[in-house]
Amino acid sequence: MVRSKAWILETPFHGIPKEDDFKLLKEDLNDLKDGEVLCEALYLSVDPYMRSLVSLGMLKAGSPMVGDQVAIITESKSRDYPVGTNVIGRLGWRSHTIVSDLTHIKLLPPMDDLPLSLALGPMGMTGMTAYFGLLEILDPKPGETVLVNSGAGAVGSIVGQIAKIKGCRVVACAGSEDKCKWIKEDLGFDVVFNYKTVDLGEALSEAAPDGIECFFDNVAGDFMSTVFPHMKLYGRIACCGTMSTYNAVGPQPSGPHPYMTIVFKQLRLEGFMVRRWWGKWSPAQVEMLQWIKEGKIKYKECLFHGIETMPKGFISLFEGSNFGKVIIKA
């Protein structure tokens, strides 16, 4: 008999999630039926969207926490997935899972000798978000200025590096001096500032006196409103996420938004969900693997140890204490 540990949402979040909002349950799993496999989590992902699922009413009190994990098959009654196979799947915040519908798991992308956890970071959902959000939505040209916020995060750090590969000038910001040092010195972004300690408008005027062609926005809210006047004519904005609003309590802030600037500068804003390019993930992963092996894409992981630490890892995303991709090693 296998005992699984599984996190549920006990109390819907109010503001920034708290450890008390979660509850860890223990469940005895049944024996496998024909066609089923038993997955044991190796690495689990925590991501900002999990917070927004509560605001959207998609996660309620008592719901199992959702999310991707890299797992190993430890028991199998399926020929397609023998014992020892590594897989990735949206299996939730749980240590062991019986999978009956095998479309819920997939083989990992080819990763050579890279750590398996990268299938949740640069080789996985966050890396693909950076890849497609930048290349498909913004389509930056060599010499153009690309601005990215949350620049030391899982998505932002990859956005900036791909923009550098494409010959762009990268302006990025992050919320601590350590993060700024990493993205400036190790990742080679051109202009970096700590948005918490500067006047954002002044920092942008200084960083991009001729204006910004491409803005990859992970934050939205006042940050985005402040950026509009610094955009160039026909500037492009990829709306990737809204870190500044996920923990908002009550009605969402309504502005001010410089709408006239959007019209006058003929800006293009486009929201996206990375699954739009699901069919193109494989070649993108091949290119990402190559860039990582060539040292053109560097990555940082913020590792938490033990499934018990999942709420802590998740909360770190909203405290800004994470560096790169937050991963829980089971």
Ligand X SMILES: NC(=O)C1=CN([C@@H]2O[C@H](COP(=O)(O)OP(=O)(O)OC[C@H]3O[C@@H](n4cnc5c(N)ncnc54)[C@H](OP(=O)(O)O)[C@@H]3O)[C@@H](O)[C@H]2O)C=CC1
Contact set with ligand X (CB under 6 A): 47-49, 126, 129, 150, 152-156, 174-176, 179, 218-219, 240-244, 272-274, 317-318, 320, 322
Using the contact rule CB under 6 A, the part of the chain among 23-31, 161-169, 201-209, 270-278 near ligand LGFTCAMA is: 270-278
Q: Which is nearer to ligand X, 44 or 219 (CB)?
A: 219
Q: Which is nearer to ligand X, 36 or 217 (CB)?
A: 217
- Over the Cα atoms of the chain, what is R_g? 21
120 binds, among ligand X, ligand LGFTCAMA, none (CB under 5 to 8 A by kind): none
**N-to-C CA span, the chain:** 19
Query: DSSP per residue over 159-199, as a string?
Result: HHHHHHHTT-EEEEEESSHHHHHIIIIIT--SEEEETTTS-
Q: Which of 165, 248, 273, 286 binds ligand LGFTCAMA (CB under 6 A)?
A: 273
Q: Is the peptide bond before 142 cis (omega within 30 degrees of 0)?
A: no
* 3-class state of residue 137 by DSSP: helix
CB of 287 to ligand LGFTCAMA, least distance (A): 19
CB of 56 to ligand LGFTCAMA, least distance (A): 6
**Sites for ligand LGFTCAMA among residues 31-50 (CB under 6 A):** 48-49
Who's near 198: CB < 8 A, 6+ residues apart? none
CB of 66 to ligand LGFTCAMA, least distance (A): 8
Residue span 227-266 as binding mask against ligand LGFTCAMA, x where in contact by CB under 6 A, dash where not = --------------x-------------------------
Query: DSSP per residue over 5-65, as a string?
Result: EEEEESS---SS--GGGEEEEEEEEPPPPTT-EEEEEEEEE--THHHHHHHTTSS-TTPBP
Does position 153 interact with ligand LGFTCAMA (CB under 6 A)? The reply is no
β-strand 105-107 against 145-148: which pairing, if any? unpaired
* Interface residues toward ligand LGFTCAMA, by CB under 6 A: 48-49, 52, 56, 125, 241, 273-275
